[in-house]
Amino acid sequence: DIQMTQSPSSVSASVGDRVTITCRASQGISNWLAWYQQKPGKAPKLLIYAASNLQSGVPSRFSGSGSGTDFSLTISSLQPEDFAVYYCQQGDSFPYTFGQGTKVEIK
């Protein structure tokens, strides 16, 4: 199975900060990497697919990059509604796997 490792596990940040979360795959996954946002008690929401494609309706302050084994999600200017848990997911090989999650908390 492909292991997805996110870092950091949690980050404290202020409104307006730039936040970057990284995700490393245990083997190459081309660009089959997605990022999801999950708020408490809610379903995940797709933010980025195929490593760098912004999902329709997602604010442009979210961006993704990377290929192969190393990927990142950047929030250029953190907004109050962005405090949540973020997961990466590889869609390259079965079983599809998620990172352990990164919690973005208010500083």
Partner 1 sequence: EVHLLESGGGLVQPGGSLRLSCAASGFTFSTYAMTWVRQAPGKGLEWVSIISGSGASTTHVESVKGRFTISRDNSKNTVYLQMNSLGADDTAVYYCARGMTPKIYDFHMDVWGKGTTVTVSS
Q: Tell me which residues touch partner 1 (CB under 8 A).
A: 32, 34, 36, 38, 42-46, 49-50, 55, 87, 89, 91-92, 94-101
Considering the complex, what minimum distance in angstroms separates the CB of residue 40 from partner 1? 11
Q: Which two tokens stand for residue 70?
A: 């190393």
- Which residue(s) pair with 24 in the sheet? 5, 70
Cβ nearer to partner 1, comparing 32 with 62 = 32
Considering the complex, what minimum distance in angstroms separates the CB of residue 81 from partner 1? 18
Cβ nearer to partner 1, comparing 13 with 46 = 46
Please count the other Cβ atoms lying within 10 Å of the Cβ belonging to residue 58: 16
Cβ nearer to partner 1, comparing 30 with 76 = 30
Cβ nearer to partner 1, comparing 39 with 107 = 39
Cis peptide bond prior to 44, omega within 30° of 0: no
Considering the complex, what minimum distance in angstroms separates the CB of residue 77 from partner 1? 25
What is the C-alpha separation between 94 and 77, in angstroms, rounded?
35
Considering the complex, what minimum distance in angstroms separates the CB of residue 43 from partner 1? 4
The string of DSSP codes covering 32-71 is -EEEEEE-TTS--EEEEETTTEEPTT--TTEEEEEETTEE
